[in-house]
Structures are given as C-alpha cells and as structure tokens.
Amino acid sequence: MGAASTSVEVRRGAYHDSVTLMQVSRAVSSVDGVQAAMVAMATQLNLDLLDGMGFPAPEGAGTNDMVVAIRADDDAAVQRGMSELDAALARSSAGTSGSAGLGAAPPPRTTGSAARRTGATLSLVSVPGQHAFSEAMDALESGLSVMLFSDNVPVEQEIRLKDEGSRRGLLVMGPDCGTAALAGVGLGFANTVRPGPVGIVAASGTGAQQLMCLLDAAGVGVSHCLGVGGRDLSAAVGGRSTRQALALLDEDPATELVIVVSKPPAKDVADEITAYAEGLTTPVQLAFLGAGQPDLTSAARRAVEAVGGRWPHLESWTPAELPTAGHGALRGLFAGGTLCDEAMVIAAAALGPIRSNIPLQPDWALPDDLRADGHAMIDFGDDRLTQGRAHPMIDQRSRLERIATEARDPNAAVLLLDVVLGYGANADPAAELAPALADAARTARHDGRHLALVVSLCGTDGDQQGLTRQAEALAAAGAVVHRSNAEAARVAAALTEVRG
C-alpha cells in the first residue's frame, strides 16, 4: 500500500455545535479507507489536538471557522470522506432548516427571539465552553430554564448563572449536564422509561441512567430527572441547582419521592442539602456514592419499596462456557464515570487499591499513559479523554483499542466494562463490542491464559438498541452480563479474588 493521502480544509464562518461535529467526525471516520478524521471548530484546543493527530496546521483558521482533516488510504477515500462529511452536515441541519418558501419568516438568530416566537420554557445549550455563558445568560434573561450540555465552563460563570436562575425562579442544569428527562422527554443521554412517581435530582449522568433503568425494571416510573452538573455539590458551587431542583419537584403533584444521586459531595454541602431536604413535604432519599454508602442498586430498591413497589429479580445473561479461574488483575473499561466510581468502590473493598484516571484516592492515580500492572479502571468518558472526539457511549474506538491491549497483557485476568443504551448512545454497541470481546478471549487462550469477561448493561426494554438483543450478543461473545452495575462489579471482583 502506498503512502496515505491527507487533506486539511478550512471552511470560513461555518459554525456547528460541538455535539454535531463529534457525530460528523465519527461518520467520516467510519468511511471505508479513512484512517483518521477530525471535524471541529478551530479553537486552540482543537488545533492542538489536530497537531497531536499528525495533521499539518491549517493556515489562517480562526475560532469561527470549521476545520476538516482527513487521512485516508488514497485520494478516492479522501473524497468519499468529504462526501460523507457534506451528507452528515446536511442530515444534522435537516431538522432545523425547515422548508420555508417565499415570504416565510427567517429562522431566529438569538435564543431570546426563538423563545418569543415559540413559547418555549427550556433552552438546551451545547456550544464550546468559552461561549456557553453568554448563550445561557441570554436564555435566562428570556425567561427560560437552561440545560447546559457544554463542559469546560469556569466555575465562576457556573455560580453566576445559577444565582441568576435562582433569582428568576428558573433552573440551570449543568454545566456538563449530559442527562435529563422532563415529563417523559429524554434530553442528552437518556433511556426510555415509564412515567411514575419518582423524581431524580442528579449530579451524575450515568448514575441517573442506572437509577432510571433499575426503577423501570421494577415497574416503577419516573416523573422527572433533573441533572444539575457534576460540580453542583462541590464546596465552590454549594448545591445551588440541587436546592432549586428539589424545590421544583416538591411542588410537582406527580412526584411522590425524590432521589438525589451524586458522587461524594463536599461534607458541608451534603449536610446543607440533607437539612434542606428534611424541610420539604415530599420525601427525599440521598444516594451519595462512596465507601460505606449504599450502591445505586440498593438506592433503587429502597425507592421502589418506599412507593409500594416490589423489587424484582434482575436479569442476567451467562455465556455457554462460564469463566475459568486464572491469575492476574482486574481491568475496568468504562464509558460512564459514576459507573466506574461505583465499581471501584466495590472492587477496592475486596481487592485493595484500584488505579484509575479518576482515582478514589490521589495516590491511586494512573500515569498519563494509563498503564498499570495491577488492578485498574479507566473512565473513557472523562473530559481529558474526550477532547476532540465523541463520547465513548457514541464512539467506542478508544475502548475497542484498549480491549485488544488488555487481551495481550499477561497480567490481565478479568475484564469489566459498562454498556449504556438509550437516546444519544451508539445505535448498536454490541455489534462492535461483542466481536472485540470474543477476539480478546481467543487471544488470551492462544497465550495460554484465561480472560474472564463481565459486562454491566444499563438500559430498558424500551430502548431502541434492544436490551435483550444486546445482552444476548454480548453473552454469546463470552461475557457474563448484568443489569446491575454493582452486581457486575461484585462478580468481577469475586472472579479476580479466585484468580489472584
């Protein structure tokens, strides 16, 4: 094969939001013959990422310009990638451009004008972090609550937005709010769940998804899930949106019980939220994850029983050949940060220190190359690993590559990973993961080792990917599959204890 063909093109003034461009990048990267692709606004961060991928610097590109970089087997593959780029951009704009004819009103150019024209009550902001504050403030000033999907928003701006929202009686969800569900409408990464009496306030996206899916499995529905952003319960932000969300759910006649889910909050903030919740009319259950605290499955069960439901036997799927004992370390490869946190808390109690890029303790941090000889778990959805690429719940390539790496590592004995279904997630994750897992097990066997595979499957029967179909495909590849992330972590730790 000859040298690869490379194309770097600057499209002046062609703005698209970051979520759209991540999806477009993935579509271009999947074209036959395309080796690497990046479609992004020409921010300094994205230009640095472009350089790191080995592309030449685009000349004269500014932050309002879009950069298209493609490396492919040959010129024909580059052109196929360009054709897919234009098609993907056209698909993304089809739902917003409309089919207006002569005399039709032009599309609104500001959030405020859109609010006046439509009567909307919520604005979803997904722009680069440096531009998010002005867009979110425009929405608040127009009388809209805000779901702020954008990340990399300075904490000082977050506080100002939340104070302004509180002053106006509006809710600011985020920044970095990836999951919400309002009266049955999922926003961001969300699952198809039945309506019901439980409201959720979440400083955790995948934590909220796991709760909603477990409640749905028990036949108990959700009224609303209000994300508040991962920093809301920090000492700096002080639970501003959590209090606002609790107050809104307390006023909602459809909500009979509220669960607050978060990674470990600042102690003073946790105490303040506990006291605030005790003063509400609606019962509130706190699910603050961490050592010595109930896991998400326990929190879901407690909520089900509190509203008069019965906790079910949660399904699991086993491969034809059960995992065989061996020797080595537990390796966790996660798309969901909270699911990774929960698994580490459970596994560390049984196995000791778990190295990670989101460590439970500072001295358990992985090095920059994310390599470890012993037990380790990686959150591939961490902001540092998603710069310039789609979230691993959408684009699974980073995990697929690491699965192959772990298969060749003589120290790896158990592989644990999560698969999250629902809106926004990969349309068929098992189609890529199942072959990769089966190949990993074969590689280990070829080297005279056994590699046990355990999967946490977060989804519902209503999700478009097909919960049962995904589970059966993963089990056929040799994985033990559990609907409870906590149970999957316990099984993985138990297998590692046997092997260690």
What pLDDT digit, counting tens, does each position of 329-385 carry?
999 999 999 999 999 999 999 999 999 999 999 999 999 999 999 999 999 998 788
Of the ranges 13-22, 301-310, 332-341, which one carries the lowest mean pLDDT score? 13-22
- Domain identity same for 331 and 454: yes
Q: Which domain covers residue 40, as residue numbers?
A: 5-93
Full-model pTM: 0.81
Specify the CATH number for the domain of residue 373. 3.40.50.261
Residues 183 and 47 in one domain: no
pLDDT digits (tens, 9 = 90+) for 168-195: 999 999 999 999 999 889 999 999 999 9
pLDDT digits (tens, 9 = 90+) for 388-418: 677 899 999 999 999 999 999 999 999 999 9
> Does 164 lie in the same domain as 251?
yes
Please compute the mean of the pLDDT values over residues 217-230 and round it to a whole number.
96
Overall average pLDDT of the 117-140 stretch: 90
pLDDT at residue 15 in the model: 81
Of the two residues 50 and 101, the one the predictor is more confident about is 50
Euclidean distance between CA atoms 287 and 285, whole angstroms: 7
How would DSSP label each residue in 23-58?
HHHHHHHTSTTEEEEEEEE--HHHHHHHHHTTPPPP
CB 359 within 8 A of CB 306: no
CB 349 within 8 A of CB 305: no
- For 148, the 3-state DSSP assignment is strand
- Cα 79 to Cα 32, 71, 163: the distances in Å are 11, 11, 49
Structural domain contains residue 493: yes
Task: Decide: helix, strand or coil at residue 452.
Answer: strand
Q: What is the pLDDT of residues 56-70, one digit of tens each?
A: 988 888 878 899 999
pLDDT winner (highest mean) among 9-23, 107-121, 266-280: 266-280
Q: What span, in angstroms and rounded, lies between the C-alpha atoms of 500 and 244?
A: 48
Q: Residue 335: what pLDDT?
A: 96
Q: What is the predicted pLDDT for the residue at 8?
A: 93
| Residues 10 and 65 sit within 8 Å (Cβ to Cβ) | yes
**Residue 102 covered by a domain:** no
- pLDDT value of position 25: 86
Same domain, yes or no: 276 and 157: yes
Share the mean pLDDT of the chain.
Answer: 91
- Encode pLDDT of 426-480 as tens digits: 999 999 999 999 999 999 999 999 999 999 999 999 999 999 999 999 999 999 9
- Are 402 and 430 within one domain? yes
Domain boundary among 93, 122, 138: 93
Shared domain for 63 and 212, answered yes or no, is no
Per-residue pLDDT, 125: 92
Number of separate domains in the chain = 3
Residues 202 and 321 grouped into a single domain: no
| Per-residue CA distances from 117 to 140, 154, 167, 373, 424 (Å) | 16, 31, 24, 59, 27
- 332 and 424 share a domain? yes
Query: Confidence class of residue 46 from pLDDT cuts 50, 70 and 90?
Result: confident
Beta-carbon contacts of 466 under 8 Å, excluding residues fewer than 6 positions away, are none
pLDDT band at 498 (very low <50, low <70, confident <90, very high): low
- Distance of alpha carbon 249 from alpha carbon 227, whole angstroms: 12
* In the predicted structure, residue 95 carries a pLDDT above the cut 70: no
Confirm whether 105 is domain-assigned: no
Residue 65 lies in a domain: yes
